[in-house]
Amino acid sequence: MEEILKLLDDHYILKLDERGNVDEIISFYDDSIFHEPFIEMVSNDDKKKAAKIFLDALENNYGKGIIRLRRGEGYSIFDVKMVKSNDIILLLAREIGREKPSFIADLLGNVVEVSDEWEALLNQNLFDVVEGKEKLLAAVREAVEKGVYDGNAFINEKEVRFRIKATTHLEFFVEEDIYRLLEKIMDAGNAKEIFNSIQEAMHMVAEDFYIRLFDMEAGTRKEAVYRYPILRRGEVVGEILLYEDMDENDLTMVKMISFLSSKASERIKEVYNILNDFAFYKIDVGGNIIYVNPKFEK
Protein backbone atom coordinates (compact mmCIF):
# COMPACT_ATOMS: atom_id res chain seq x y z
CA MET A 1 0.00 0.00 0.00
CA GLU A 2 2.85 2.42 0.85
CA GLU A 3 4.41 1.90 -2.59
CA ILE A 4 1.09 2.70 -4.26
CA LEU A 5 0.70 5.86 -2.20
CA LYS A 6 4.19 7.00 -3.22
CA LEU A 7 3.01 6.95 -6.83
CA LEU A 8 0.18 9.28 -5.83
CA ASP A 9 2.25 11.83 -3.95
CA ASP A 10 0.77 14.64 -6.06
CA HIS A 11 -2.77 13.63 -4.99
CA TYR A 12 -4.82 14.31 -1.90
CA ILE A 13 -6.34 11.06 -0.62
CA LEU A 14 -9.41 10.47 1.56
CA LYS A 15 -11.36 7.40 2.56
CA LEU A 16 -15.14 7.83 2.48
CA ASP A 17 -17.81 5.57 3.90
CA GLU A 18 -20.87 4.58 1.86
CA ARG A 19 -22.72 7.67 3.06
CA GLY A 20 -20.05 10.02 1.74
CA ASN A 21 -18.57 10.94 5.12
CA VAL A 22 -14.80 11.26 5.46
CA ASP A 23 -13.77 8.12 7.36
CA GLU A 24 -10.01 8.64 7.21
CA ILE A 25 -7.64 11.36 6.02
CA ILE A 26 -4.59 9.88 4.32
CA SER A 27 -3.45 13.24 2.96
CA PHE A 28 -5.48 16.42 2.70
CA TYR A 29 -5.04 20.15 3.26
CA ASP A 30 -7.99 20.54 5.67
CA ASP A 31 -8.30 18.29 8.74
CA SER A 32 -11.66 19.80 9.67
CA ILE A 33 -13.33 17.62 7.02
CA PHE A 34 -12.72 14.49 9.18
CA HIS A 35 -16.04 12.71 9.91
CA GLU A 36 -17.88 15.37 7.86
CA PRO A 37 -19.75 14.82 4.56
CA PHE A 38 -17.29 15.29 1.71
CA ILE A 39 -19.97 17.16 -0.27
CA GLU A 40 -19.58 20.08 2.17
CA MET A 41 -16.16 20.80 0.61
CA VAL A 42 -17.62 21.11 -2.89
CA SER A 43 -18.67 24.42 -4.46
CA ASN A 44 -22.43 24.88 -4.73
CA ASP A 45 -22.32 24.79 -8.53
CA ASP A 46 -20.48 21.45 -8.54
CA LYS A 47 -22.42 19.58 -5.83
CA LYS A 48 -24.56 17.70 -8.38
CA LYS A 49 -21.47 16.73 -10.33
CA ALA A 50 -19.74 15.55 -7.13
CA ALA A 51 -22.82 13.52 -6.19
CA LYS A 52 -22.75 11.84 -9.60
CA ILE A 53 -19.07 10.91 -9.15
CA PHE A 54 -19.93 9.39 -5.76
CA LEU A 55 -22.95 7.48 -7.11
CA ASP A 56 -20.90 6.17 -10.04
CA ALA A 57 -18.38 4.83 -7.53
CA LEU A 58 -21.13 3.23 -5.45
CA GLU A 59 -22.84 1.59 -8.42
CA ASN A 60 -19.95 0.93 -10.81
CA ASN A 61 -16.95 0.95 -8.42
CA TYR A 62 -15.46 3.97 -10.20
CA GLY A 63 -16.33 7.61 -10.78
CA LYS A 64 -14.38 10.67 -11.91
CA GLY A 65 -14.79 14.32 -12.85
CA ILE A 66 -13.52 17.89 -12.51
CA ILE A 67 -14.95 19.76 -9.52
CA ARG A 68 -14.09 22.75 -7.36
CA LEU A 69 -13.29 22.19 -3.69
CA ARG A 70 -13.16 24.81 -0.97
CA ARG A 71 -9.61 25.81 -0.10
CA GLY A 72 -9.13 28.55 2.43
CA GLU A 73 -11.37 31.45 1.49
CA GLY A 74 -11.68 30.42 -2.15
CA TYR A 75 -11.91 27.35 -4.34
CA SER A 76 -9.42 25.23 -6.26
CA ILE A 77 -10.13 23.07 -9.29
CA PHE A 78 -9.46 19.35 -8.84
CA ASP A 79 -9.36 16.28 -11.02
CA VAL A 80 -11.22 13.83 -8.74
CA LYS A 81 -11.45 10.05 -8.92
CA MET A 82 -13.38 7.74 -6.58
CA VAL A 83 -12.75 3.99 -6.38
CA LYS A 84 -14.91 1.61 -4.34
CA SER A 85 -13.36 -1.38 -2.56
CA ASN A 86 -15.58 -3.38 -0.19
CA ASP A 87 -17.37 -0.80 1.97
CA ILE A 88 -14.78 1.94 1.50
CA ILE A 89 -14.55 4.55 -1.25
CA LEU A 90 -11.05 5.89 -1.89
CA LEU A 91 -11.05 9.47 -3.14
CA LEU A 92 -8.06 10.76 -5.10
CA ALA A 93 -7.94 14.50 -5.82
CA ARG A 94 -5.24 16.26 -7.85
CA GLU A 95 -5.21 20.05 -7.90
CA ILE A 96 -5.05 21.46 -11.42
CA GLY A 97 -5.70 25.15 -10.80
CA ARG A 98 -6.87 27.90 -8.50
CA GLU A 99 -10.10 29.76 -9.09
CA LYS A 100 -9.56 33.50 -9.38
CA PRO A 101 -12.14 36.27 -9.18
CA SER A 102 -13.48 37.81 -12.39
CA PHE A 103 -13.33 41.23 -10.76
CA ILE A 104 -12.94 42.76 -7.30
CA ALA A 105 -14.82 45.72 -5.87
CA ASP A 106 -14.58 47.58 -2.59
CA LEU A 107 -17.49 47.41 -0.16
CA LEU A 108 -19.09 50.44 -1.83
CA GLY A 109 -19.14 48.74 -5.24
CA ASN A 110 -16.17 50.51 -6.84
CA VAL A 111 -14.35 48.05 -9.12
CA VAL A 112 -10.64 48.09 -8.28
CA GLU A 113 -9.31 44.98 -10.04
CA VAL A 114 -10.48 43.04 -13.11
CA SER A 115 -9.56 40.09 -15.29
CA ASP A 116 -9.03 40.81 -19.00
CA GLU A 117 -12.60 39.82 -19.86
CA TRP A 118 -14.05 42.48 -17.52
CA GLU A 119 -11.63 45.32 -18.26
CA ALA A 120 -14.53 47.63 -19.13
CA LEU A 121 -15.64 47.58 -15.48
CA LEU A 122 -12.36 48.90 -14.06
CA ASN A 123 -12.83 52.12 -12.01
CA GLN A 124 -16.59 51.96 -12.44
CA ASN A 125 -19.18 51.52 -9.72
CA LEU A 126 -21.18 48.31 -10.02
CA PHE A 127 -24.39 50.07 -9.06
CA ASP A 128 -24.04 52.18 -12.23
CA VAL A 129 -23.71 49.20 -14.61
CA VAL A 130 -25.98 46.58 -13.02
CA GLU A 131 -29.69 46.38 -13.82
CA GLY A 132 -31.62 46.09 -10.57
CA LYS A 133 -29.62 48.00 -7.98
CA GLU A 134 -31.85 46.80 -5.16
CA LYS A 135 -31.13 43.16 -6.03
CA LEU A 136 -27.38 43.81 -6.11
CA LEU A 137 -27.56 45.65 -2.79
CA ALA A 138 -29.37 42.68 -1.23
CA ALA A 139 -26.76 40.31 -2.70
CA VAL A 140 -23.88 42.38 -1.32
CA ARG A 141 -25.56 42.59 2.08
CA GLU A 142 -25.97 38.80 2.20
CA ALA A 143 -22.36 38.29 1.10
CA VAL A 144 -21.13 40.62 3.86
CA GLU A 145 -23.31 38.93 6.49
CA LYS A 146 -22.71 35.30 5.45
CA GLY A 147 -19.38 35.56 3.66
CA VAL A 148 -20.70 34.37 0.29
CA TYR A 149 -23.64 34.84 -2.08
CA ASP A 150 -24.75 32.94 -5.20
CA GLY A 151 -27.14 34.44 -7.73
CA ASN A 152 -27.80 36.09 -11.11
CA ALA A 153 -27.61 39.67 -12.35
CA PHE A 154 -27.53 41.75 -15.54
CA ILE A 155 -24.09 43.37 -15.94
CA ASN A 156 -23.54 45.57 -19.00
CA GLU A 157 -26.82 44.21 -20.46
CA LYS A 158 -25.66 40.60 -20.12
CA GLU A 159 -27.22 38.16 -17.66
CA VAL A 160 -24.55 36.26 -15.75
CA ARG A 161 -24.50 33.82 -12.88
CA PHE A 162 -21.99 34.81 -10.23
CA ARG A 163 -20.77 34.18 -6.71
CA ILE A 164 -19.69 36.96 -4.37
CA LYS A 165 -17.12 36.30 -1.67
CA ALA A 166 -16.83 39.05 0.92
CA THR A 167 -13.64 39.73 2.87
CA THR A 168 -12.17 43.23 3.05
CA HIS A 169 -13.37 43.50 -0.56
CA LEU A 170 -16.08 41.92 -2.71
CA GLU A 171 -14.73 39.21 -5.02
CA PHE A 172 -17.02 38.35 -7.95
CA PHE A 173 -16.69 34.95 -9.64
CA VAL A 174 -18.67 34.97 -12.89
CA GLU A 175 -19.69 31.47 -13.97
CA GLU A 176 -19.60 32.29 -17.68
CA ASP A 177 -15.88 33.01 -17.41
CA ILE A 178 -13.00 30.71 -18.26
CA TYR A 179 -13.71 28.09 -15.60
CA ARG A 180 -17.17 27.43 -16.99
CA LEU A 181 -15.58 26.98 -20.42
CA LEU A 182 -13.10 24.51 -18.93
CA GLU A 183 -16.06 22.52 -17.64
CA LYS A 184 -17.54 22.55 -21.14
CA ILE A 185 -14.38 20.86 -22.43
CA MET A 186 -14.74 18.06 -19.89
CA ASP A 187 -18.48 17.71 -20.50
CA ALA A 188 -18.10 17.48 -24.29
CA GLY A 189 -19.58 14.33 -25.77
CA ASN A 190 -17.59 14.13 -29.00
CA ALA A 191 -14.45 15.44 -30.69
CA LYS A 192 -16.22 18.34 -32.40
CA GLU A 193 -17.64 19.59 -29.09
CA ILE A 194 -14.20 19.34 -27.47
CA PHE A 195 -12.65 21.30 -30.35
CA ASN A 196 -15.30 24.04 -30.20
CA SER A 197 -14.92 24.31 -26.42
CA ILE A 198 -11.14 24.60 -26.74
CA GLN A 199 -11.61 27.48 -29.18
CA GLU A 200 -14.00 29.26 -26.81
CA ALA A 201 -11.62 28.90 -23.89
CA MET A 202 -8.56 29.98 -25.90
CA HIS A 203 -10.30 33.15 -27.08
CA MET A 204 -10.55 34.11 -23.39
CA VAL A 205 -6.78 33.98 -22.81
CA ALA A 206 -5.02 34.63 -26.15
CA GLU A 207 -5.45 36.53 -29.41
CA ASP A 208 -3.06 34.74 -31.76
CA PHE A 209 -3.05 30.95 -31.55
CA TYR A 210 -3.43 27.72 -33.51
CA ILE A 211 -5.39 24.63 -32.44
CA ARG A 212 -5.41 21.14 -33.89
CA LEU A 213 -7.47 18.21 -32.63
CA PHE A 214 -7.49 15.08 -34.79
CA ASP A 215 -8.38 16.39 -38.28
CA MET A 216 -9.81 19.73 -37.09
CA GLU A 217 -7.83 22.97 -37.15
CA ALA A 218 -8.31 26.61 -36.22
CA GLY A 219 -5.87 29.45 -36.83
CA THR A 220 -2.69 29.53 -38.90
CA ARG A 221 0.17 27.16 -38.14
CA LYS A 222 3.56 28.90 -37.94
CA GLU A 223 6.63 29.06 -35.71
CA ALA A 224 5.38 29.16 -32.14
CA VAL A 225 6.61 30.71 -28.91
CA TYR A 226 4.84 28.04 -26.84
CA ARG A 227 3.48 24.61 -27.75
CA TYR A 228 1.19 22.43 -25.64
CA PRO A 229 0.24 18.94 -26.88
CA ILE A 230 -3.16 17.30 -26.55
CA LEU A 231 -2.68 13.63 -25.73
CA ARG A 232 -4.84 10.53 -25.87
CA ARG A 233 -3.30 7.75 -23.77
CA GLY A 234 0.20 9.05 -24.47
CA GLU A 235 -0.34 9.62 -28.20
CA VAL A 236 -0.31 13.17 -29.55
CA VAL A 237 -3.71 13.83 -31.18
CA GLY A 238 -3.57 17.61 -31.21
CA GLU A 239 -1.75 20.73 -30.07
CA ILE A 240 -2.14 24.32 -29.02
CA LEU A 241 0.41 26.80 -30.41
CA LEU A 242 0.89 30.32 -29.05
CA TYR A 243 2.58 33.06 -31.04
CA GLU A 244 3.08 35.70 -28.36
CA ASP A 245 4.62 36.04 -24.91
CA MET A 246 2.06 35.63 -22.15
CA ASP A 247 2.09 36.17 -18.40
CA GLU A 248 2.34 33.23 -16.03
CA ASN A 249 -1.38 33.20 -15.19
CA ASP A 250 -2.44 32.96 -18.83
CA LEU A 251 0.16 30.27 -19.55
CA THR A 252 -1.13 28.27 -16.58
CA MET A 253 -4.63 28.57 -18.02
CA VAL A 254 -3.47 27.30 -21.44
CA LYS A 255 -1.77 24.37 -19.71
CA MET A 256 -5.09 23.58 -18.03
CA ILE A 257 -6.89 23.76 -21.38
CA SER A 258 -4.34 21.35 -22.84
CA PHE A 259 -4.59 19.00 -19.85
CA LEU A 260 -8.40 18.94 -19.78
CA SER A 261 -8.56 18.53 -23.57
CA SER A 262 -6.36 15.46 -23.21
CA LYS A 263 -8.61 14.08 -20.48
CA ALA A 264 -11.73 14.72 -22.56
CA SER A 265 -10.15 13.13 -25.65
CA GLU A 266 -9.45 9.96 -23.68
CA ARG A 267 -13.14 9.65 -22.82
CA ILE A 268 -14.70 9.88 -26.24
CA LYS A 269 -15.32 6.72 -28.23
CA GLU A 270 -15.72 8.00 -31.75
CA VAL A 271 -12.02 8.70 -32.26
CA TYR A 272 -11.71 5.39 -34.02
CA ASN A 273 -14.61 6.35 -36.29
CA ILE A 274 -12.76 9.55 -37.14
CA LEU A 275 -9.63 7.60 -38.01
CA ASN A 276 -11.64 5.28 -40.20
CA ASP A 277 -12.61 8.26 -42.35
CA PHE A 278 -9.00 8.35 -43.56
CA ALA A 279 -7.09 5.80 -45.58
CA PHE A 280 -3.94 4.59 -43.90
CA TYR A 281 -1.73 1.53 -43.84
CA LYS A 282 1.28 0.11 -41.99
CA ILE A 283 4.44 -1.23 -43.59
CA ASP A 284 7.32 -3.27 -42.19
CA VAL A 285 11.01 -2.38 -42.50
CA GLY A 286 11.12 -4.09 -45.90
CA GLY A 287 8.37 -1.87 -47.31
CA ASN A 288 5.72 -4.60 -47.28
CA ILE A 289 2.16 -3.58 -46.41
CA ILE A 290 1.17 -5.45 -43.25
CA TYR A 291 -2.11 -3.68 -42.43
CA VAL A 292 -4.70 -1.53 -44.20
CA ASN A 293 -7.78 0.00 -42.63
CA PRO A 294 -11.27 -0.36 -44.19
CA LYS A 295 -11.16 3.10 -45.79
CA PHE A 296 -7.92 2.24 -47.61
CA GLU A 297 -9.42 -0.99 -48.93
CA LYS A 298 -12.20 1.01 -50.58
pLDDT at 216: 92
pLDDT at 225: 92
pLDDT at 287: 62
What is the rounded distance in angstroms from the CA atom of residue 159 to the CA atom of residue 188? 24
The total of other beta-carbon atoms located within 10 Å of residue 243's CB is 16
pLDDT at 269: 61
pLDDT at 234 exceeding the cut of 60: yes
Q: Give the mean model confidence (pLDDT) for residues 261-286.
A: 61
Q: Answer whether residue 266 is part of any domain.
A: yes
- State residue 153 phi and psi, 5-degree precision: -160, 160
Q: Which is higher by pLDDT, 74 or 43?
A: 43
- Rg of the chain in Å (alpha carbons): 23
Q: Give the mean model confidence (pLDDT) for residues 129-158.
A: 80
85 and 12 both lie in a single domain: yes
| Cα dihedral 27, 30, 36, 37 sign | negative
Q: Answer whether residue 31 is part of any domain.
A: yes
Residue where a domain terminates, one of 98, 125, 148: 98
Q: Answer whether residue 281 is part of any domain.
A: no
Counting the structural domains of the chain, the total is: 3
Q: What is the largest CA-CA distance in the chain?
A: 78
Q: How confident is the model at residue 178 (pLDDT cuts 50, 70, 90)?
A: low
Alpha helix ranges (H) inside 123-216? 126-129, 133-146, 178-187, 191-205
Q: How does pLDDT run across 57-72, given as a tens digit for each residue? A: 999 889 888 888 887 7
137 and 190 both lie in a single domain: no
pLDDT at 249: 67
Q: Which is higher by pLDDT, 6 or 197?
A: 197
Close Cβ partners of 66 (under 8 Å, ≥ 6 residues apart):
77, 78, 79, 80, 96, 182, 183, 186, 260, 263
Q: Which is higher by pLDDT, 191 or 204?
A: 191
Task: Return the percentage of the chain with pLDDT > 90, whole number.
Answer: 17
pTM of the model: 0.44
Q: Answer whether residue 293 is part of any domain.
A: no
pLDDT at 4: 41
Q: How confident is the model at residue 150 (pLDDT cuts 50, 70, 90)?
A: confident
Q: How confident is the model at residue 95 (pLDDT cuts 50, 70, 90)?
A: confident
What is the rounded distance in angstroms from the CA atom of residue 232 to the CA atom of residue 196? 18
Q: Give the mean model confidence (pLDDT) for residues 125-131.
A: 86
What is the rounded distance in angstroms from the CA atom of residue 153 to the CA atom of residue 108? 17
Task: Return the percentage of the chain with pLDDT > 70, whole number.
Answer: 80
170 and 228 both lie in a single domain: no
For residue 187, give its domain range: 178-270
pLDDT at 5 exceeding the cut of 80: no
